Structure 1
């Protein structure tokens, strides 16, 4: 099934069920008011939502309306936990080279994960608000999963069974702030502003054969200012699948329902697939020309991130954002 969160006058929005073709939706408040409520008791609520989803797809749902991604918040507008991995080690290697940092060999065997801000997650068409273009604004196109409870010490195979939903991510980075922050030895903070999510989150069965071995085996299409710059395959070159990433997260603590875990920027070693973040493009330019040629995003720039099924139909809807300056108040 496909779920989304509609904007209303609350912080957490209103849960809706979206049709498979993303054309129609129906409010699900008679079942549960929010997605977090569903995740807290998935076995109770999910069958009811599935029935509503079936009814919607068959054209029998009462009070259905046209689905509008612009009216959506992130599926979870604020989450108990947002963590992002770097499952595509090729991306890690390139970005570290761009910073002049060596690639530790254990990165190929032990996942790299950071914990980001989860109290203010952006909707699919919310602006990327920045203080300055000089911060090096970069998009990062990813896939993420939303899970139920995962106890400490859970194995990778068992952790995969906790995945309830899959969604898309734009993990915005301020590249020029990263080196100084990491040099302090305490991780990202100011260099990672609000993360954006696709309008729709889907259950893994909606992906069919594309959901295999804890990976999404579909290309992720990225447009920058209307030009397609990347279409890397999400299943290719993903060194750590989502079960392995989750097992790493719960090695020393529990994970609770509503946790979102990102894959890290999609990155293929096949350069013909393009790029899912500007930093990779700049690194390749540096290797070829001795310096980067491509600038980071400027005010007014737009990015669009979307995944299509084998029939060319959008699965999650699109993330489409513009970079805008912060409007300061006195």
Structure 2
């Protein structure tokens, strides 16, 4: 089943999308929002699946062409967004480039941070940044959406708790990261709003490409229309999604609608390219002694997509442009509202 949310209100309006991403139908009679559906999954799943089958069979009523430009994130906001770093090859490479050893524990205990979740970017929404000098980067990732999961859940108990999968652009401001990490409290300003694919997909829809709690397709990233990387998401994933869930649930319960990310998809085979600028820059530092690829500039575009074995888009594309953020209060506005301002 494929689900999306039209940009409507704070939490979107749930629609069901055809397998080929060409047609859609409103699902408001079943569930007004995706969060409502996740909160009541046992009650609504069968009806949503029935509507999905009718849509693909061409017998659903009141269908309309699917337009991803009208979509918000499948979950426009979420109760939790926890992003891991499951591809330890990526972590090792980044640390090696700056001459730092990687603790052995990184191979057995996942890295994870809790990201901004009170408002996600739409899949075609501009990435607004105030300063190019902040080191604007994209990160192509996979994410899962869960139902309610009890604290202490182990990997062998995860089956059935993963309800949906999505793609992610985890926007990172690389030049803000070192100072933040040096404080010892982790990411905050350096991790602004992320973007997710227009379509979220149930695991059964992925067939044999979803096994061992990994998604076995290439993640394709284009920068300014040029292929940047297409690493295989099922290869070199040190921690699968069951292990990431166990990590999150160690000391807390997980509520329905929580999103858990894989971290940047990365392969040891360098010929597959990268899913973020930082990784390519690190490879250049190791080879040439300096980075040659710049971070994103205003006007740059990134496109993140995944295709099935027949070449069809599975989730639709994240396609975004970096633009300069201008605060809505200008000097003249401040002067206008300042009763002590002298003309």
Class of the TM-score when normalised by the shorter of the 2 chains: over 0.9
Question: How far apart, CA to CA, are the structure 2 residues paired with 1:177 and 1:97?
Answer: 20
- Written as runs of structure 1 = structure 2, the 5 A alignment for 1:1-330 is 1-8=1-8, 10-330=9-329
SS at 1:32's partner residue? coil
* TM-aligned CA distance change 1:103 to 1:160, over 3 Å: farther
SS at 1:280's partner residue? helix
* TM-aligned CA distance change 1:32 to 1:213, over 3 Å: same
Offset, 1:323: 0.2
Question: How far apart, CA to CA, are the structure 2 residues paired with 1:46 and 1:253?
Answer: 26
Judge conservation of contact 2:97–2:286 (CA < 8 Å) in 1: no
Offset, 1:66: 0.2
Offset, 1:161: 2.4
Residues 146-174 of structure 1: CA deviation (Å, up to 9, x unaligned) = 00011111111212420000000000100
TM-score by length of 1: 0.98
Question: How far apart, CA to CA, are the structure 2 residues paired with 1:246 and 1:208?
Answer: 21
Offset, 1:248: 0.4
Offset, 1:97: 3.1
TM-score by length of 2: 0.95
Question: How far apart, CA to CA, are the structure 2 residues paired with 1:77 and 1:329?
Answer: 22
Question: How far apart, CA to CA, are the structure 2 residues paired with 1:307 and 1:111?
Answer: 25
Judge conservation of contact 1:90–1:268 (CA < 8 Å) in 2: yes
Question: How far apart, CA to CA, are the structure 1 residues paired with 2:167 and 2:252?
Answer: 25
The runs of 5 or more residues in structure 2 that have no matched partner are 330-343
SS at 2:293's partner residue? coil
Bigger mean CA deviation after superposition, 155-164 or 82-91: 155-164
SS at 1:320's partner residue? strand
Judge conservation of contact 1:99–1:179 (CA < 8 Å) in 2: no
SS at 2:308's partner residue? coil
Question: How far apart, CA to CA, are the structure 2 residues paired with 1:233 and 1:251?
Answer: 29
Judge conservation of contact 2:229–2:275 (CA < 8 Å) in 1: yes
Offset, 1:93: 1.2
Question: How far apart, CA to CA, are the structure 2 residues paired with 1:126 and 1:158?
Answer: 37
Off by >4 Å, runs of 4+ in structure 1 = none
Question: How far apart, CA to CA, are the structure 1 residues paired with 2:323 and 2:228?
Answer: 21
Offset, 1:218: 0.3
Question: How far apart, CA to CA, are the structure 2 residues paired with 1:92 and 1:229?
Answer: 19
Question: How far apart, CA to CA, are the structure 1 residues paired with 2:7 and 2:28?
Answer: 13
Offset, 1:100: 4.4
Alignment coverage as a number of residue pairs: 329
SS at 2:158's partner residue? helix
SS at 1:221's partner residue? strand
The runs of 5 or more residues in structure 1 that have no matched partner are none
Residues 47-100 of structure 1: CA deviation (Å, up to 9, x unaligned) = 000000000001111110000000000000000000000000011112223444
Offset, 1:328: 1.8
SS at 1:222's partner residue? strand
Larger radius of gyration: 2
